[in-house]
Structure 1
Amino acid sequence: MTTGSILAADLLIAVLAAAGWLGGGAASVTGRRRLALGLAAFALVATLARVVTIVALARAGWWFAAEKVLIAAPLSLIATAGAGAWWLRSRSVGVALFLTGYAHSAALLVTVLHGYPASAGAALLAASGVIAATAVTWRLLGARPSRTVSRTAGVVAAAALVAGTGLAAQPGSADVVPHLHEAGVAAGVGEPTKRFTLVAGTTATGWAFNGQVPGPELTATVGDVLEVTLRNTDIERGVTLHWHGYDVPNSQDGVPGITQAPVLPGAEFVYRFRADQAGTYWYHTHAVSDVGVRKGLYGVLVVRTVPVTGVDVTIPVHTLGGRTLPEPRTERIAAGQPVRLRLVNTDNTTHRYALTGTPFLVAAIDGSDLAGPAPLTGTAVLIPAGGRYDLVFTAPATPVALLVDGRAIWSTGAVTTATGKWPVLDPLGYGRPAPVPWSRHDREFTLVLDRGLDLKGLLPRYAHTVNGAADPDTGVQVARLGETVKFTVVNRSTVVHPWHLHGHHVLVLSRNGQPATGSPLWLDSFDVRPGEVWEVAFVAGNPGMWANHCHNLPHVEAGMTLHLMVRG
């Protein structure tokens, strides 16, 4: 089993255990003793099974089991043992079963609502809930505990509640690193050789740049200086331009509150940067991005080293109002022509791409060329949210088609090949390997991705978290210019998190402890699936404050973002 499947199994077993104990209590108080015994036996088996899953998760990494080992397991096992002793000495069998059920429910809630890391506040709140619920149940069932027991239980529950709430709601300890919001063009770039204007505004179907979705394709040749003027006509919450995957100077990165203020209706902002990275990239608003990108504020940026030869096609895949873009199209291509398909995933989730009718190479990922790519046939590729793959091939005399999630998007003719059962390429083992360029890392940071109840703001919210905190309490990680930085990115949640660092590409070192064995893989967007642990590294070569976040944009809105400060 994968760590992700163990995480899912652990949650299911926890639910079954809690339901078994509570069900047993309900059966006992209604006089159905056999059913109560049966449910209790089932719950005991589930409790022992959860011990197995917790041990397995702890072996996979402390991140996956911290709150289970320190809070959930002790709470559940102590309650189970205590209820067993109570059962043997008392006629209050129902209360004993309810006590165990409450403890298992609290243990489950610690994992679901609190997550990583384990904290004294969560332990106190869980204990308070169990004590209070048991005391109330005891009284309602007419067992009439002694006044001393009642008072003691009330005092302990209240004290645990107050202390736990105080600890849980403490202001975050996030570091605050001063930075400037620089307006205007970056210094030292030079005079522009290519100028573009993008006008953001509402349309009948959503939002758009220059009245079209996607926005205009921006193209350049290495050495060009691009100047892009962004204007906002009527989008009230403001817009910006973020150059996804393009390592621009920090002042041009387009992150509201970090590098610039949002461009409000009637205003404009001028971006200027040098085109020194060839490859396939894209741009999108970073202001209210979970709404703006979904509604259509995105487009493609392509930088080439030489003029186009052969057929060069960009295919940004996007879901707009439940409709998949682009619309299917057929393009007639003469046999023998070189073809490059630039695939861009602008959605929040992974898409599956299958090219049928010809062998092909994956020439580049996220704008970086791969070394020694081998021909592929009958193989699909998965592109994470924000990611890009360049597929190249020589056009055959027979039809070729690109299918996205089983739907033909681009073709040279009718193709009927079924691709649903094709294996998926693992890019970590594709291409010719090369030694890692560093022998050590100057800085190491761990990012544990999770979800839980965020109590730091005025109103509680269920948030996607990094290291147990949600933005703006996630803090700033600091590196000095030129240092080598290693990130360990851990996903202990049950959903995929496509991770994206601004201003830098990262070199993949390993996934789940297995080193990358293919071409050096420089990425700016990569899927961290449930239970996965990625190790990536990079040189902090671009000074400034950089966003570092999940590119499932609703997750960002729900708190899954932090920042990297590279100090010059």
Structure 2
Amino acid sequence: MSLNRRLFLHSAAAAAALPGLRPLEALAANAPYELVAGVFKQRVRESGPETGVWGFNLQSPGPLLRFQQGEEATLQVRNRLPQATTVHWHGIRVPNEMDGVPNVTQVAIAPDTDFTYKFRLPDTGTYWYHPHQSSFEQVPRGLYGALIVEEARPVPVDREVIWVLSDFKLGPDNQPVEDFGKITDFGSGGRIGNVIAINGKAAGAQQKLELRPNERVRLRLINASSARLLLLDFAGHQPWVISYDGQGVPPRPLKAPLLLGGGQRTDLILDGSAGRGEFAVTDLRDKGTRLATIAYGGSPVRARVLGAPRAIAANRHPTLNLGKATRHYLAFEGGVLGMPAIGKVDGRTQDVKSIMEHHGLSWTMNYTAQHEHALMHEPLFQFRKGEHVIIKMVNRTEFEHPMHLHGHFFQVVAINNRPVKERFWRDTVVMAPRQDIDIALVADNVGEWMFHCHILDHAAGGMMGTVLVE
């Protein structure tokens, strides 16, 4: 796999400025950014052999993409993988033909071929990019990266840190366990890795975020795991939450551990308020596993800890009118702990035994199971452009589902039929087992858009559909 030498040297030099993530630079003036998807070796665990991973531009996570709001991105994706791929720009309101969904918005990029994505960046915030072809395999192999759209007036901080959180399932030889696509993973909690990673390196005490007393850091968190949900605890600190899924919120102290579902992002302001010592950042969903250490050193940045941070300027969203919204219903069934008696696959109604045995599917949305992009059936919903919509999602399963809608942001307006007072714009929401969630949106982006679970094994196992806006 060839890679422009100037680009590689620039990326390597920039690594010191932002540990673990290297920014991407255009090859020449007015030239597209080049993302080369390929196979290579990378050190994931501290000891033992390097790991065979998939990634962009010889790194996992791929290069950090940074843009200004309103800027036009031109990205040439060169596929040097052994299978077809695409790139989806998670959370970005792109034109439908640039959304990176095989057999819906484009033909998958075959091995040794290229595809150019071109779109404007309408919203500031923290986003990420990943394949939407065989994503249950390609994402956990390491194929993803961070994408940042900067605000005109960023929140004042001393510096910024980005953590792309993911996991790898590795054997004793540090190589990936080749068990992708198991029906038992499709129908349960998904394929969970045994090595949690931050920016492609194994998490643990060796992962250190060094703070000076009273220093202020903007910490951008991205959950790029294919199935793992994280519950993050920042011992000895109380960060400020300033955005969810790239969308600014009124700053608020994080008073409980932070739940970060697959595909979700949260921006925190972390102040060096503890002053001395070392403090663990742990995942309470993984038995309190230490992901990183906040370690203090050096002289204070300022005399005292700063107060509440400034709010991020809001992106432009349509004003929701719930009174005139059309109402829709979306039931989720299936999984190994309780499956529907009947469902529809490829337009034919079948019993669950046939669905499992002949199609390898485990889930239904409104009694329909969907192959991963192999043959898209009728959309779950059809909306008029500009239509105000409420979708009641009813989770009849015993599993969580981080549901992601492409091309739009929505607000959670009710949980278990109780209205939500504070409503934030999001593109991914975690449904708890047996929970009802009402989301509201304005269907203002024309096209056919994916609506699926971001436990990527669940999506491949049937929990995938589309929403058509005309």
Q: What are the residue-to-residue correspondences of 1:74-93 with 2, within 5 Å?
A: none
1:454 deviation in Å? 5.1
Cα distance change of structure 1 residues 239 and 446 upon mapping to structure 2, 3 Å threshold? same
Q: 2:229 aligns with which of 347, 350, 353?
A: 350
* Distance apart, 1:412 and its partner CA: 3.3
Of Structure 1 and Structure 2, which has the larger fraction of its residues in helix? 1
**Aligned AA (2:321):** W
Hey, what does 1:210 align to over in structure 2? 57
Distance in structure 2 (CA, Å) of the matches to 1:355 and 1:534: 28
Shift of residue 441, structure 1, vs aligned partner: 3.8
Superposed counterparts of 1:151-550, under 5 Å: 195-204=32-41, 205-236=52-83, 238-306=84-152, 309-321=157-169, 322-326=194-198, 327=202, 328-347=206-225, 348-371=227-250, 373-377=251-255, 379-396=256-273, 397-399=275-277, 401-405=280-284, 406-413=288-295, 437-451=320-334, 452=339, 456=345, 459=358, 461-471=360-370, 475-476=378-379, 477-518=381-422, 520-550=423-453
C-alpha contact (below 8 Å) 2:388/2:440 kept by paired residues: yes
1:315 and 1:194 mapped to 2: Cα distance? 29
Equivalent residue of 1:412, what SS? strand
Give distance in 1, aligned partners of 2:210 and 2:400: 38
Structure 1: gaps of 5 or more residues: 1-191, 416-435
Q: CA deviation at 1:401?
A: 4.4
Structure 1 residues 441 and 294: alpha-carbon distance in aligned structure 2, compared to 1, 3 A threshold: farther
User: What is the aligned partner in structure 2 of residue 7 from structure 1?
Assistant: none
Give the Å deviation of 1:376: 3.5
Code of the aligned partner of 1:317: L
Which structure carries more relative contact order (alpha carbon 8 Å, separation 6+)? 2
Secondary structure at the aligned position of 2:118 is classed as: strand
Q: Tell me the residue number matched to 2:461.
A: 558
The SS at the match of 1:556 is: helix
Identity %: 31
Deviation digits for residues 203-226 of structure 1 (CA, Å, limit 9, x no counterpart): 341321112111111111223221
Residues 213, 296 of structure 2: 8 Å contact kept: no
Q: Is the 8 A contact 2:344 2:368 kept in 1?
A: no
The answer to whether the Cα contact below 8 Å between 1:506 and 1:537 also exists between their aligned partners in 2 is yes
Q: Deviations over 1:61-115 (max 9, x none)?
A: xxxxxxxxxxxxxxxxxxxxxxxxxxxxxxxxxxxxxxxxxxxxxxxxxxxxxxx
2-side partners of 1:450 and 1:392: how far apart?
38
Provide closer, same or farther for how the CA distance between residues 481 and 497 of structure 1 changes in structure 2, counting only shifts above 3 A. Answer: same
Distance 1:194 1:314 in 2: 26
Query: Post-superposition shift, 1:276?
Result: 2.2
In the superposition, relative to structure 1, how do residues 226 and 456 fare at CA in structure 2: closer, same or farther (>3 Å)?
Answer: closer
- Per-residue CA shift, 1:452-478, capped at 9, x if unaligned? 465746935442100111115763111
- Is the Cα contact below 8 Å between 1:442 and 1:484 reproduced in 2? yes
RMSD: 2.4
Contact 1:454 1:460 in 2 (8 A): no
Deviation at 1:336, TM superposition (A): 2.9
Call closer, same or farther: CA 1:450–1:337 in 2, change over 3 Å.
same
Q: Normalising to structure 2: TM-score of the pair?
A: 0.70
CA distance in 2, matches of 1:456, 1:534: 25
TM-score (norm 1): 0.59
Shift of 1:374: 2.9
Max Rg structure: 1
The separation in 1 between residues aligned to 2:435 and 2:134, in whole angstroms, is 29
Structure (1 or 2) with the greater strand fraction: 2
